[in-house]
Structure 1
């Protein structure tokens, strides 16, 4: 099949879109195209990348105008199946349907709940916009050929509007991060967090907690907000933080192999509680014990597989106590790491998810 993935927001090398989905489809012998913003045309890993320059300054102008440029490029590709990844591209998907194309909507987030937390939307308008968008999204998906969701929770929301809905979870690629055997001899006295850095993702709690331990906190990722970055770096505990900024996939693997534990202490926000953060599974794949928020779904994974400790993400004493326990109990911590790897190998890996995606395409 000739397949075209579309995004107006994500980078061309996005982990879910490019590294996982597009590469898996190439491996299944499909002809794969990817239309993505702010890159040049190129062939990479057998994928035809069509770079689109976004000339529109500001989020609102991009949402209103860039989709027409994406649609024009998509029609030039003339694919059998179009697979789009952003809510703002729903109008593009509907127009492609009018051209008798097969169209898939890949739903990464529960957007109506996410809107309620968007700082750039005036607070009095958030509930109204959230409600209006949910109605629009629910009605639109009925007209599409299929939906791919990033979590079972999102799937449950949508399958009553479109029965051809599957969840394809963001689990790690086994041969990328999985470490067959672990050793504690090269471990540094440091815990690590990878990904976007913001207060809602636990940045303040992690920094304050590390000040109550003898360990160091390593932050690998970019700040989401300049003001929050300034405020965080003014904390007295910041002196115990090693901020590395963005790392590529190879650097992340090397970092995780030498840490004591991985942190994913996101605040109890509506859009986080039923999410499946990829960083949690990447920690497990490299044999790191996980210190995670005590959300019911996460407790089921972490405590159910005995691969880490769940804590109140707003309680810095609990986070600090978990870090100290990992440091003071290296044998039991290593057992947790091995349990996490076992769970990844048996259940939470991309290889099994990619087979679901390939069958979905074939059925369509």
Structure 2
């Protein structure tokens, strides 16, 4: 297949998009065109992937990014088998785009990969005025149900099914479990991996690091929202913690090995109540004990598998106490690490699910071809193409 993967919101090195889905397709021998904001994020396409530059959509005005994405989709669609969209915003381009496809005489299989509870996520968008949030939530729910009538849907969580009238396949945010035995958890370093925001508990991580003092090194890996960047930079400068900023997925995951604990201090937000934090599964896969707040899916994982400790929301002192407990009890942290690794290996390993994801797209293309669509040609994608 020839697959066009598009995002104007996510980082081009996003783990789900690049390191799971695109990698799985490339390994199966499919040809990938990856349209993303490479320049805005300061990265280049990976080898084996044809990169196409798009503007980044950020903040309130996303029109330029959507116009550019719409032009690309309209021109490239007839030349690919699958268009895989990763932003709900890109659905807004489809009415005009599909008209262009009909005039060209061929439409690709269009798939929306549903990463989050879009309406619930609005609560955390500081650029959305408070008075607009309730009507926007209603509008988004209606748009989601409309979308499922016109495009294929992949869901990242089983819990997302309730938002839609039909049943859609689920491609979970599982981790790629590293081969071989993991490094045993140490006693002097904890890690936070992921995007950094108030709602994700980054200021709690900073306060927890101050409470722990020099006995435990706190490492923070990820891109930070503007309103917490100053606090992180100051804590880094003072030596309270080590902030690496954004690291490519492979380098970020390498920092997990041998850590005393992995942190997930999400706040109680609607968007987190139905989502399994990917970082928790990554910690488990790398044999790292988990310290998490009681978001339902994270706490259920930790308590069911005995792979860490659950602390209250917004309580840095409790998080520091949990880290000290793991530090003082080698048996506890080794049992937690082993149980988490085993659970990830047996039931949350992307290596197992990757083939199912690829087979879904292949099946949809075969179904579309059987319905009379012309085969894809190999015409190049129009746009600023980057070497990959």
Secondary structure in structure 2 of the residue aligned to 1:106: strand
2:49 and 2:229 map into 1 onto residues whose CA distance is: 36
Whether the 8 Å contact between 2:8 and 2:57 is mirrored in structure 1 is no
Whether the 8 Å contact between 2:219 and 2:243 is mirrored in structure 1 is yes
Whether the 8 Å contact between 1:195 and 1:279 is mirrored in structure 2 is yes
1:9 and 1:140 map into 2 onto residues whose CA distance is: 19
Shift of 1:209: 2.5
Quick check: 104-113 or 207-216, which moved more?
207-216
1:258 is the counterpart of 2:258: yes
Whether the 8 Å contact between 1:105 and 1:148 is mirrored in structure 2 is yes
Q: Which residue does the alignment assign to 1:66?
A: 68
Shift of 1:322: 0.8
CA deviations over 1:142-192 (Å, ceiling 9, x no partner): 111x2011111123322x1x44x11111111124xx5514335xx351211
1:52 is the counterpart of 2:48: no
Matches within 5 A, 1:185-204: 187=186, 189-204=188-203
Change (3 A) 1:237 1:201: farther
Matches within 5 A, 1:182-331: 182-184=183-185, 187=186, 189-213=188-212, 214-225=215-226, 227-231=227-231, 239-331=239-331
Q: Which residue does the alignment assign to 1:131?
A: 138
Change (3 A) 1:29 1:38: closer
Secondary structure in structure 2 of the residue aligned to 1:319: helix
Q: Which residue does the alignment assign to 2:169?
A: 166
1:279 and 1:56 map into 2 onto residues whose CA distance is: 23
TM-score by length of 2: 0.82
Greater RCO (CA < 8 Å, at least 6 residues apart) = 2
2:323 and 2:64 map into 1 onto residues whose CA distance is: 43
Whether the 8 Å contact between 1:56 and 1:65 is mirrored in structure 2 is no
TM-score by length of 1: 0.88
Q: Which residue does the alignment assign to 2:153?
A: 147
Whether the 8 Å contact between 2:82 and 2:111 is mirrored in structure 1 is yes
Shift of 1:328: 0.5
Whether the 8 Å contact between 1:85 and 1:108 is mirrored in structure 2 is yes
Shift of 1:347: 0.7
Shift of 1:230: 2.5
1:115 is the counterpart of 2:114: no
1:23 and 1:206 map into 2 onto residues whose CA distance is: 32
Shift of 1:124: 1.3
CA deviations over 1:281-328 (Å, ceiling 9, x no partner): 111111110001112322221111111111112122321221111101
Shift of 1:47: 2.5
Secondary structure in structure 1 of the residue aligned to 2:268: coil
1:217 and 1:56 map into 2 onto residues whose CA distance is: 29
Secondary structure in structure 1 of the residue aligned to 2:62: helix
1:254 and 1:17 map into 2 onto residues whose CA distance is: 19
Whether the 8 Å contact between 1:9 and 1:86 is mirrored in structure 2 is yes
Q: Which residue does the alignment assign to 2:361?
A: 361
1:10 is the counterpart of 2:10: yes
1:221 and 1:236 map into 2 onto residues whose CA distance is: 13
- Give the length in aligned residue pairs: 354
Q: Which residue does the alignment assign to 2:376?
A: none
Secondary structure in structure 1 of the residue aligned to 2:154: strand
Whether the 8 Å contact between 2:266 and 2:295 is mirrored in structure 1 is no
Shift of 1:339: 0.8
Shift of 1:231: 4.2
